[in-house]
Amino acid sequence: MSKAEMSKDEIFGDDSAPPSKESVMATSPSADLLHTVADPNLTEDLALALLKRADLLPEVIERLAKNVNALKSRKVKIALVSHPHTPRHVSVPLARQFYTFDLMKVALSPWVPADVKIAADEVLISRLKMVTIGERLTLARRASGRVAAALLLDLEKMDGKIIDGKSVDSKVPDAKTVARETRVMRTALENPRLTESLVISSVLRPAASAALVDAVAQHEKWYCRREIRAALLRTEHLSLARALEFSREIPAPQLHELLASSRLPDKIKNQLLRESPAK
């Protein structure tokens, strides 16, 4: 039977009774279906129709992934990587070929397995230095929490260079320049997928800038959280005023323990301990 002779039910599946996972895994792909996906004349529409089937077996998907003509279609590649039954040795190498926003789409898809999402995020993060400021801003707003967390460490320097979050330009930047330099980071702080644990991990990174610490310490969504405040007290960049504010709610024994691993200057540590209320 040729692909043209395949019935509609065979291509699209029977929607009346979705097969269980056990029955899907126990079913062997038909020779006709394997022949269809390997056909060099397979159309984009038929490939996409097949990839909409939730019961498509890994063997069929793997055979389709070897169809050179089918893989010329960007849509087919995305559908292959997004299918929940695509083997990892097929989906991950394919994902590495994607453009920036196709990777973002894969990482946000509810159907993509978690490890493939992580792989897509890792590729995106590795490319952040090479994408435009406009693309970074879009990623900061819309990408996954992991990508947003990576962008918290992003500083755009217009006049001079930024190295490890510190300016090597001798000029003192004005407020407008500072706003431009930190706009990606500030946009990432608004990302709805960014989590408290990711913010904490970012501010504790050696590459975390004073601008990031200051932005988190003043951000109305983040600064009021107890674990965030504790993390900020362990950084080297927190201002004395904020450090005093955050330390007042911490009992002296816990504050001693927290400051023991803090990178704050000794002068600030000593003042916090002097002013800490005994509880």
Cα 202 to Cα 168: distance, rounded to the nearest angstrom = 22
What's residue 31's pLDDT?
86
Contact 145, 193 (CB under 8 A): yes
- What residues in the chain have per-residue pLDDT under 50? 1-27, 157-171
* 110-130 residue pLDDT tens: 989 999 999 999 999 999 989
* Domain range list for the chain: 1-107
What's residue 19's pLDDT?
42
User: How many of the other CB atoms lie within 10 Å of CB of 175?
Assistant: 7
Burial of 171 (0-12, 13-18, 19+ CB in 10 A): exposed
Cα 215 to Cα 217: distance, rounded to the nearest angstrom = 5
Tokens, residue 61: 């998907």
State pTM to two decimals.
0.78
| Cα→Cα distances 26→19, 55, 64, 90, Å | 11, 11, 20, 21
Cα 232 to Cα 111: distance, rounded to the nearest angstrom = 36
Q: Give the number of residues written for the chain.
A: 279
Question: How is residue 128 annotated by DSSP?
Answer: G
Contact 150, 194 (CB under 8 A): no
